[in-house]
């Protein structure tokens, strides 16, 4: 079975995308079992953004198809940037392109030219990987429609919450919402409240929100906790000893 590197080398030398049958014929893959295995490998390479599949189910290398893959960086004002996997200047994504994306997603974009400020601009081709399964933020409800405003300002879209999925959250409370439907160009993300953390002014809430929103560790290994506790106690004794 041809390796991923060999497949990429072959497609990189082609003048356009190739179907599974064309790839198999060129690389000497024969038999139903080998064709099935090749199809699975191509699908895996597509999932990892090594290949792009077009509408006629033909595969091509992204660079050969003038496509770029990378990680999306969102901006609070609604636009964003694609940080290329292979390096180079970031690609500007307008607010319209960002309707289907959230901060941290991996995507494939097509370069469309330069914007008015001379930045490389792109159009979304495909979302490869979703980075956000849960969002931490404040819950608001108006006219029976709930929404969660993410605490992370780079997440520029509010998460809509149907009334039946509010989880008993009160207006203004801090919640954790699970995204059940990712955004697209027609609609924002849809979710349901899975945990109510409490009032946003409650003591310690800022720390709790930061831990949830940014994936910080909320518990330390026992030996680390013991060392930290020892040093804290020692510092406290020193402070008391030298205090006026």
- Torsion sign (Cα): 60, 64, 67, 73: positive
Q: Average pLDDT for residues 25-45, to the nearest whole number? A: 92
pLDDT-above-90 percentage for the chain: 55
* Domains 67-129 and 134-214 alike in fold: yes
Question: Can you give the pLDDT at residue 215?
Answer: 61
- Whole-angstrom distance, CA of residue 230 vs CA of residue 236: 10
- Whole-angstrom distance, CA of residue 52 vs CA of residue 64: 10
- Other Cβ atoms less than 10 A from the Cβ of 178: the count is 15
Question: Can you give the pLDDT at residue 113?
Answer: 86
**Residues 36, 54 contacting (CB under 8 angstroms):** no
214 — pLDDT class (breaks 50, 70, 90): low
**Residues 149, 141 contacting (CB under 8 angstroms):** no
Fold of the 134-214 domain:
OB fold (Dihydrolipoamide Acetyltransferase, E2P) (2.40.50)
- Whole-angstrom distance, CA of residue 139 vs CA of residue 55: 40
Q: Average pLDDT for residues 198-218, to the nearest whole number? A: 66
- Whole-angstrom distance, CA of residue 125 vs CA of residue 72: 13
Question: Can you give the pLDDT at residue 212?
Answer: 66
**Residues 70, 81 contacting (CB under 8 angstroms):** no
**In this model, does residue 238 exceed pLDDT 50?**
no
The architecture of the domain spanning 67-129 is Beta Barrel (2.40)
Question: Can you give the pLDDT at residue 112?
Answer: 87
pTM greater than 0.85 (yes/no): no
- Whole-angstrom distance, CA of residue 105 vs CA of residue 129: 6
- Other Cβ atoms less than 10 A from the Cβ of 221: the count is 9
pLDDT tens digit sequence for 63-98: 777 788 999 999 999 999 999 998 889 999 999 999
Q: Average pLDDT for residues 201-214, to the nearest whole number? A: 66
pLDDT tens digit sequence for 129-182: 999 999 999 999 988 889 999 999 999 999 999 999 999 999 999 999 999 999
Question: Can you give the pLDDT at residue 46?
Answer: 86
Fold of the 4-60 domain:
Arc Repressor Mutant, subunit A (1.10.10)
Closest Cα to residue 173, out of 139, 135, 136?
139
User: Looking at residue 119, what DSSP letter applies?
Assistant: -
More confident residue, 198 or 146: 146
16 — pLDDT class (breaks 50, 70, 90): confident
- Whole-angstrom distance, CA of residue 99 vs CA of residue 183: 7
- Domain spans of the chain, in order of start: 4-60, 67-129, 134-214
More confident residue, 23 or 144: 23
Question: Can you give the pLDDT at residue 42?
Answer: 94
Nearest 5 degrees, angle CA 110-CA 21-CA 128?
Answer: 30
> Strand locations in the chain, DSSP E?
52-53, 59-60, 67-74, 80-84, 91-93, 106-114, 120-129, 134-142, 145-150, 159-161, 173-181, 190-199
């Amino acid at each position: 079975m041809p390796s991923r590197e060999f497949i990429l080398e072959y497609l990189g030398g082609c003048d356009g995308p190739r179907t599974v049958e064309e790839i198999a014929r060129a690389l000497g893959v024969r038999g139903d079992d080998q064709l099935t295995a090749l199809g699975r490998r191509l699908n895996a390479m597509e999932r990892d953004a090594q290949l792009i599949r077009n509408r006629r189910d033909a595969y091509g290398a992204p660079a050969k198809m003038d496509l770029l893959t990378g990680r999306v960086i969102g901006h609070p004002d609604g636009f964003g940037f694609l940080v290329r996997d292979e390096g180079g200047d970031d690609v500007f994504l307008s607010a319209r392109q960002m309707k289907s994306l959230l901060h941290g997603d991996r995507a494939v974009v097509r370069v469309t030219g330069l914007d008015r400020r001379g930045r490389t601009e792109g159009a979304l081709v495909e979302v490869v990987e979703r980075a956000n399964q849960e969002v931490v933020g404040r819950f608001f409800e108006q006219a029976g429609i709930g929404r969660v405003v993410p605490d992370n300002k780079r997440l520029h879209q509010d998460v809509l919450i149907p009334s039946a999925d509010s989880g008993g959250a009160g207006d203004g409370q801090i919640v954790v919402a699970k995204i059940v439907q990712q955004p697209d160009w027609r609609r924002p993300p849809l979710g349901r409240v899975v945990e109510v953390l409490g009032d946003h002014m409650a003591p310690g809430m800022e720390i709790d929100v930061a831990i949830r929103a940014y994936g910080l560790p909320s518990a330390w290994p026992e030996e680390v906790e013991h060392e930290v506790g020892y040093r804290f106690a020692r510092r406290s004794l020193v402070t008391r000893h030298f205090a006026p």
